[in-house]
Amino acid sequence: MSETTFNNQNEYLVEVKDLKKWFPVQTNFIDQIFAKQLEYVRAVDGVSFKIRRGEVLGLAGESGSGKTTIGRVTIGLEEKTDGEVYFDGMDLSALGREDLRKLRRRMQVIFQDPLASLNPRMSLGEAVMQGLKIHYPETSDQHRDIALEMMEKVGLTPARFYFNKFPHQISGGQRQRVVIARALITKPDLILADEPIAMADVSVRALLLDLMIQLKKEFNLTYLFITHDLATAKYICDQIGILYLGRIAEIGDLRDVYSLPLHPYTQALLAAVPVPDPHERRTKLMPRGEIPNPIHPPSGCRFHPRCPYAKEICSQEEPQLRELMPGHQVACHFAEDFMK
């Protein structure tokens, strides 16, 4: 397949439809013999969303909500159980191994832990050049210069000073800059940023976010931004999807969702965001207890055991995502009550 075939210029760079990712529960041999049927962790259980070219979609939720798994399946790092994933109009499951390998150049990842994602025995320069070696071996004589230029762009200056250093010789913030340079070196269209600043010192988090925003403009990037922190999402995201137990509770334009959250779970998450004013009082009820077991999710609305507004119907009927305002979808039987 030629490179031009991969450049369809669809309005939506990413389209995910009814995505499911279930992991079989590992049991011992005796349990397997007597088990009536296999059990599954329903990490992602019917999720749909689109990302416009050049936009940042944030996926937020507690640990166990399925956000990281969605990201990994969306860019082909994990196989889906069911559903459809389109990248630039192409159905990923219809592509052969070689086409997928070529496409990977356009989809890169910034992982949460830069120390774990960098080879401790590989110099920073080598790490940044890795993608070029894989996807552009024919231009090997230019790799060093391209890598130096990219290292300068992400703030590793002077790049020659850092090129031959190793991950343990630089700070955590600098390591994340190396990971960002490594992700951008193949000029991707989509970046999966999985909690990209969570491991960085508080003092450099804003700098890294500013860098990601600046690079997004310069390289016309689209981000799928995974976070548990709604304050961080507010800084960078255009759209936000709130996940609960493998499903989307609410999704829409970030300003709409933050100014008028229509799902009790979104309201609780936003109420938990720290505010600089010590006199501001919290008025929303926080959800009770822990996120339930994804092997046996609660009946009806998955949030009902923790929801302060739950009524009888909530444990019986699963609420579907409904568009209550343009582009603003909510999965709650009583979402209209929160619009008053």
Binding interface with ligand SF4 (CB under 6 A) = 263-264, 301, 303-304, 307, 309-310, 314, 319, 332-334
Residue 41 CA to residue 21 CA, distance in Å, equals 8
Of 54, 46, 68, nearest to 12 by C-alpha is 54
Q: Are 269 and 232 in contact (CB under 8 A)?
A: no
CB 117 within 8 A of CB 181: no
Lookup: tokens for 221: 């990037």
> Around 119, how many Cα atoms within 13 Å sit in the side-chain half-sphere?
11
* Alpha-carbon gap, residue 333 to 161, rounded angstroms: 58
Nearest approach, Cβ of residue 299 and ligand SF4 (Å): 11
What is the helix (H) or strand (E) element at residue 191, kind and residue range?
Answer: strand 190-194
Rounded Cα–Cα distance for residues 330 and 249 (Å): 6
* Tokens 């989809």 belong to residue: 107
Identity (one letter) of the amino acid at 104?
A: R
In the complex, what is the shortest distance from the CB of residue 311 to ligand SF4, in angstroms, rounded to a whole number? 6
CA distance 178 to 155: 9
| For ligand SF4, the closer CB: 80 or 304 | 304
The DSSP output letter for 9 is -
Residue 77 C-beta: closest distance to ligand SF4, Å: 31
Smallest gap from Cβ 119 to ligand SF4, in A, equals 45
Cβ closest to ligand SF4, residue 162 vs residue 244: 244
Least distance from ligand SF4 to the Cβ atom of residue 328, Å: 15
Q: How far is the CB of 40 from ligand SF4 (least distance, A)?
A: 23
Q: Which is nearer to ligand SF4, 23 or 258 (CB)?
A: 258
Any residues with CB less than 8 A from the CB of 226 and at least 6 apart, and which? 58, 59, 67, 68, 70, 71, 192, 193, 194, 195
The distance of closest approach from Cβ of residue 301 to ligand SF4 in the complex, given in angstroms and rounded to an integer, is 3
What's 340's DSSP letter? -
State the amino acid at position 208 in one-letter form: L
Tell me the C-alpha distance between 58 and 51, whole Å: 10
User: What is the gyration radius of the CA atoms in the chain, in angstroms?
Assistant: 21
Q: What is the closest distance, in whole angstroms, from the C-beta atom of residue 233 to ligand SF4 in the complex? A: 20
